[in-house]
Amino acid sequence: MTRFGIIGGGLMGHGIAVALAQAGHHVAVFDADPATLASLDERIARALERCAMPPAGAGPVTARITAAKTLSDMVVGVDAVLEAVPERLDVKQQVLDALEAKIPAVTPVWSNTSVLSLTEVGKGMRHPQRLVGVHWWNPPYVMPLVEVAPGAETDRRFVQEACDLLTGMGRTTVRLHRDVPGFIGNRLQFALVREALHLLEQDVCDPVTIDTVMRASLGLRWSSVGPMENADFIGLDLTRDILVSLAPHLSAAVTFPALDKPLDAGHRGRASGSGLLTWPPERGEEVA
């Protein structure tokens, strides 16, 4: 059993707390926002319902998670700390600075950053060798994958310890040779999103069609075969020929008008009740 501290009890922080507690670990969660902390129990209960955890099993899991009112309360007796604060370099660096003043130099520190450079996140740390990128997928108590990566300064011993612990919890743990923004999963995912937006911008089809193609083909295939194994199936010669033909047509965009237009009009996706599937508004009326 490991005693974890989690800084940031938002979407990921509370979910990771559940995943850790389900594996028998104790977790103290600290959040700077008192309202977020106050709602922790309720959100944990909802997460356990989503896992279809019977009440008899849920009780002990809930009992292993505590809300810490201060960072000082959170660090008491911790074996490892995970930060899940917003994806802003300055916020993460400030949090790590405050944390390091309160924990021994040997305590591992995990960052759940998605796309920041871990090396940058660790700049300014007194002991950057203990900082490990440990990227969970949402929701962490459902998605098996955790991606683990070292920053430039990370001591490989901390990486190995993180991998061993996560593997011991039954997680599908992958270890990257080095830290890259987006790790592996988000690099693949957002390459696909970029190409989908490119197709929209070229008026090849509408967003619903893109999702239909994905669900009825790649979504099914890639649930059992990864793109590398698939390249072996297709044949590397044909794969290369296809890539050479397609490459000049694939997107290398760094700006995304297909997102700017709905965003400028206040369509942010599910959070605002309307997004790509109902944009432009004429299409929204058709879909409705």
Q: What does the alpha-carbon distance between residue 227 and residue 30 come to, in Å, rounded to a whole number?
A: 39
Contact track, ligand NAI, 72-91, x by CB under 6 A: ------------xxxx---x
Question: Does residue 139 have a cis peptide bond before it, meaning omega lies within 30 degrees of 0?
Answer: yes
Which residue, 69 or 221, is less far from ligand NAI as judged by CB?
69
Q: What CA–CA distance (Å, rounded) separates 218 from 3? A: 40
Q: Which of 33, 73, 232, 241 binds ligand NAI (CB under 6 A)?
A: 33
Nearest CB to ligand NAI, comparing residues 135 and 267: 135
Asked if 31 is part of the footprint of ligand NAI (rule: CB under 6 A), the reply reads yes
Query: Nearest to ligand NAI by Cβ — which residue?
Result: 10
Identify which of 182, 168, 170, 120 has the alpha carbon closest to the alpha carbon of residue 143. Answer: 170
Q: Measured from the CB of residue 59, what is the shortest distance to ligand NAI in angstroms?
A: 25
Rounded CA-CA distance 149/130 in Å is 12
Pairing outcome for strands 3-7 and 26-30: parallel
Report the nearest approach of ligand NAI to the CB of residue 94 (Å). 6
β-sheet with 3-7: strand ranges across: 65-68, 26-30, 3-7, 80-83, 109-111, 131-136, 145-150, 172-175
Q: Does 118 bind ligand NAI (CB under 6 A)?
A: no
Q: Which is nearer to ligand NAI, 2 or 39 (CB)?
A: 39
| Beta carbon nearer to ligand NAI, 53 or 116 | 116
Q: Which of 13, 122, 128, 133 binds ligand NAI (CB under 6 A)?
A: 13
At residue 52's C-alpha, the angle toward residues 47 and 56, to 5°, is: 95
Tell me: does residue 113 bind ligand NAI (CB under 6 A).
yes
164, exposed or middle or buried, with CB in 10 Å at 0-12, 13-18, 19+? exposed
Residue 15 C-beta: closest distance to ligand NAI, Å: 8
Name the one range near ligand NAI by CB under 6 A: 1-9, 39-47, 212-220, 227-235: 1-9
Among positions 246-285, residues that touch ligand NAI (CB under 6 A) are: none
Q: How many residues bind ligand NAI (CB under 6 A)?
A: 24
Please, which residue, 36 or 230, has the CB nearer to ligand NAI? Answer: 36
Total residues belonging to the chain: 288
Nearest of 279, 89, 148, 93 to residue 201 by alpha carbon: 279
CB 215, min distance to ligand NAI, A? 21
The torsion angle over the Cα atoms of residues 135, 146, 185 and 219, rounded to 10 degrees, is -140
Residues 124-153 that bind ligand NAI (CB under 6 A): 135-136, 138
Of residues 85 and 163, the one with the C-beta less far from ligand NAI: 85
Q: Which is nearer to ligand NAI, 37 or 231 (CB)?
A: 37
Q: Is 37 within 8 Å of 67 (Cβ atoms)?
A: yes
Candidate residues 112, 154, 173, 274; the one interacting with ligand NAI per rule CB under 6 A: 112
